[in-house]
Structure 1
Amino acid sequence: MTSTDQPPTPAVTITSFGYGHQPDERAPDAHLTLDLRQHFRDPHVDPAMRELTGRDQEVITMVLSTPGIPALIAATVAAARAFCSGPTAGPLHIAAGCVGGWHRSYVVASALGTLLAELDPAVVHLHVDRPVIRRPAPQS
């Protein structure tokens, strides 16, 4: 490869992000966007989990054991394979977002990357190294 050659664009890019770190809380442009904020348990509300990330086994276990998450991951894998098998298949971008990009989106994006390994995806975690988003405790 010469200095003017560009590396090939990956067939699949999977991005985890935090809506709270995005301008106007908008998701990045993607073909498939998973908004994990409202429908799935948030590890952030547990003070013991708040400073951990999707790199930590406790968070991985909690997110992957959340009802609905395994089915959502499986459905997204099937959708990604369908997109990539189309007659005019081009690069596919999947985005997974939660509030801060530390827990749910990180784990889901990582799981998708593992399960779509045959497509050699690029997995990008946009906000895992940003500060924790401080928010009020949930009302009981």
Structure 2
Amino acid sequence: MPESNWTDIIQSIGVIAALFFAGLEIRARAREQRFRNYLDGIAGFVQFARLMVEKPQLHALYQYSPKELNKTYEQLTADEKARVHYCDSLIALCETVWLASRQRWIPRDEWMYWKRWAIDLNGSREFRWTLKWVANEYDEQFLDEMKSH
């Protein structure tokens, strides 16, 4: 075999090996990124839990009521506004987790825990009010999941 053929074969093997190891590295980095995304979601949950402890007016979100909150934003009390803004932030974080789950940036089952929390909060009139208030800002499928029982 001429020397140039051996050179071509060795170069081809080198390229294949480099591509193989690059693929392994990309896969490892993707796995690390998914884990970081998962940790970001957990950090958001912890931050919301801390707020719930620090702000007693937020506790009323877990006082479930079938009555609807029939007020405009201006008519809301200061405590109701605090709960509405908490819910607004929570919905935004939930959308981030929902999207990350759909894109497989986090484990698929992670969204189910968040969804269950949102469904529990559907018992709160402020949460339901907030879902209506921000309805035009979010994906329709996401909002349907937030409301489903």
Structure 2-normalised TM-score?
Answer: 0.34
Question: Which has more radius of gyration?
Answer: 2
Structure 1-normalised TM-score?
Answer: 0.36
Q: Which has the higher contact order (CA 8 A, sep 6+)?
A: 1
* Structure 1 or 2: more strand by fraction: 1
